[in-house]
Amino acid sequence: MPDPDPANLARLAEALAALDSTLPTVAGRPFDPAADADVIRRGGNVTADTTFGGLDVVQRLRGVPDYSELTRDAVESDLLGVPVRVCSLARLRAMKEAQNRPQDQADLENLPES
């Protein structure tokens, strides 16, 4: 869930391009900021395969609160020396329960309760 600030969304689009992202939902076509950034700017979701693995940019999804709500109880962490904010375990569990897909059910079995 990205910060919806327009400058941040522009950086996200550039980062997707820099990570050699492809779009599996569009027959593996490379992510093109000129053509694809508008989806992100409009608040759409993007599924991408990057040089580091899969990445889902979620901005609208049933059971997923907006950025301002998620950030309230986000946890500060470090990812390879880069400070990041991660949604709380309670929020992650709630989102997976709301989606209730087979993968979400499997994830819930493997996530700690608290």
Characterize the bridge pairing of strands 53-57 and 29-30.
unpaired
Give yes or no for residue 5 having a pLDDT over 90.
yes
What's the pLDDT band for 35 if we cut at 50, 70, 90? confident
Q: What is the pLDDT of residues 67-92, one digit of tens each?
A: 999 999 999 999 899 999 999 999 99
The model's pTM is 0.82
CB-CB neighbours of 111 under 10 Å: 12
Within its chain, how far is the Cα of 79 from the centroid?
15
For 7, which DSSP code?
Answer: H
Give yes or no for residue 31 having a pLDDT over 90.
yes
Report the SS3 class of residue 13: helix
Q: What percent of the chain has pLDDT over 70?
A: 100
